[in-house]
A and B are shown apart, each in its own frame.
Chain A
């Protein structure tokens, strides 16, 4: 085998060095490889021997990576490295651009300017000052009560940058829109079924008093899946929603976040960042179709196929954020939505277009979606978002409280 490992098998030191250099190549490509993994890899190579190239490959893969997404990069690096380690410098240079989208942010993370999407029958929004526009208002970070109130009813799309930033902060205080589900664990409660072992324990401690202790099912926030439309017409609403969702994720809920425009992107990992601005910046870097067109049907289809079975477990609810305006509706949207509805405990559709009193479900996309969602709610101002939280928590039937 023409590998550096084989030629240097006699001296374990140089084998270890080769592994270290190889690990450095992978690390430079953005894979998280700690020194403990390198040590494990050296021991693994020692165990399998160097007789077979595929064994070496498998041993290094098993110890150095722990994610399927990294496998392709690993394979490429492995092929290059163990064929000719002299190529390493050049390969590192060649590999870097490949991973720049993931490991390092491109130098200019700004999205292309938002595209205006012409909407049939939609009244034009009241001349919104755009980001970077000339007439920026300066507003103190702490708004007065009345300013907050005013902000609450303003449409996100017509806010100035400062107002918008404040709205993004306020939105984080809103409650979760999803009802908790009961889990199999118990907690003591005033009423409920009898807790035999706790009752017996109590009696053992104090046999003169017989008091029945009770317990009930513990509750847990329901898993939430957010499908957020990030096409041109949705830009600001999407940003606000991502702030809202980020705040929900902070409470250790199981939340998965997907964005879609022309294609579906899972941004959950980026959104896990503790800092909201970092998280959303990371999410928008991961997304390639920000502020583009919309293909809702194929996006939901892709979600159903690739993710639904994986993330829609445990009575998960779906929060669908879109205006329902599909660029190319080929009739697939209805079927996709029907399938989605069968996977999800409930689907809540947040639609900024609902703010117009004259809104009628005339667009084909809207008509295809409507029969399959449990609730269809407006979401264009903080006030409405607050209503949303209240509406979803307090009322509304819970179709299947528990699966067990």
Chain B
């Protein structure tokens, strides 16, 4: 296979070329997933970069990204394949108008491959190049769907009753993500490599945000990231993710802020926190307290 890095360091470096600064453990998991050709199962808080990893992985391995967004009621027709009914009808009409119909032949051609609409799973198996298949927020799908995934992820094939079994041309590199709204069944997890994605530490997050918002003054970015990191230790309903941190710094830059002060925090807090309770708490003096803490901490340092 082309484009598979041969060491953990190489994975780290490769992901970094697109601005994804993975920690060592995540890089190891990604490397193993590529090397052992096993799906990578990522769990973690919303906003730690699970989905982003799949996107970047597709970019750096120069593979098409095929995304399956899971939701309630997701079924095979949306996830794997669907018969193209209108085309089948058209086919029948054309066959009729062409003259006497040979029943068997028409029926066979009705359920040929070209009558099939490939949805993400089938598309990933049939892809000309090894694709990156992102199965996003699997916990939102119904449990029966997991059982269906078992065949795809362990045998790399899909069985279509009318057509037969479609085997993978190339094994896709699979990334599954879950926000843990419910536990995923062990049978599925067993076929995957598991990684719990943590929020990055201060230095790593600073590096990530600084890369994403290069026009922001370094001191502002550092303050903002430190603030976000502290905010995550509060017991908020929804801790701000990395994307929110980036958005926030962007917002601060757009407002020409050079420095983080209570007013700046208060003006832009909606970018960072999305729950009224959290925002009310921040504006009720918590933000000042955090800023104070950070100021004394940096003063000591």
Contacts and interface: CB of A to CB of B under 8 A. Distances in A.
Contacts of A110: none
Contacts of A32: 186
Interface residues on A, range: 35 or more
A65 B186 contact: no
B89 A48 contact: no
B196 A54 contact: no
B31 A48 contact: yes
Contacts of A200: 85-86, 89
Contacts of A43: 36
Most buried by B among A57, A71, A184, A201: A184
A270 to B, nearest CB: 13
B277 interface: yes
Interface string A168-190: 00000000000000011100000
Interface in B18-42: 24-25, 28-29, 31-32, 35-36, 38, 41
A252 B142 CA distance: 11
Interface string B164-201: 00000000000000011111001001101111100000
Contacts of B190: 34, 36-37, 66
B25 A44 contact: no
A55 B235 CA distance: 32
Interface in A288-345: 304-305, 308-311, 313-314, 339
Interface residues of B, number: 41
B119 interface: no
B152 interface: no
Interface in A52-68: 52, 54-55, 57-59, 61-63, 65-68
A204 B96 CA distance: 11
B25 A185 contact: no
A362 interface: no
Contacts of B192: 66
A201 B83 CA distance: 12
Given A68-B196, A185-B73, A55 B182 contact: no
A55 B180 CA distance: 26
B8 interface: yes
B92 interface: yes
A153 to B, nearest CB: 38
Nearest to B83: A197
Interface in B58-109: 71-73, 75, 85-86, 89, 92
A220 B25 CA distance: 40
Nearest to B144: A252
Nearest to A218: B73
Contact of A54 (B25, B180, B181): B25
Interface in A21-59: 32, 34, 36-37, 40, 43-44, 47-49, 52, 54-55, 57-59
B211 interface: no
Contact of A44 (B36, B86, B189): B36
B153 to A, nearest CB: 14
Contacts of A252: 143
Contacts of B235: 305
A61 B31 CA distance: 14
A47 B35 contact: yes
B295 to A, nearest CB: 28
B111 interface: no
B43 A68 contact: yes
B193 A62 contact: yes
Nearest to A71: B196
B31 A47 contact: yes
Given A55-B24, A220-B72, 12 more contacts: A36-B190, A47-B31, A48-B31, A59-B28, A63-B32, A67-B183, A71-B196, A184-B71, A204-B89, A204-B92, A218-B73, A339-B277
Interface of B: 7-8, 24-25, 28-29, 31-32, 35-36, 38, 41, 43, 71-73, 75, 85-86, 89, 92, 140, 143, 179-183, 186, 189-190, 192-196, 235-238, 277
Interface of A: 32, 34, 36-37, 40, 43-44, 47-49, 52, 54-55, 57-59, 61-63, 65-68, 71, 183-185, 197, 200-201, 204, 218, 220, 252, 254, 256, 269, 304-305, 308-311, 313-314, 339
20 contacts: A44-B36, A47-B31, A47-B35, A47-B36, A48-B8, A54-B24, A55-B24, A58-B25, A58-B28, A58-B29, A61-B195, A66-B186, A66-B190, A68-B196, A184-B72, A185-B75, A197-B85, A269-B183, A309-B237, A339-B277
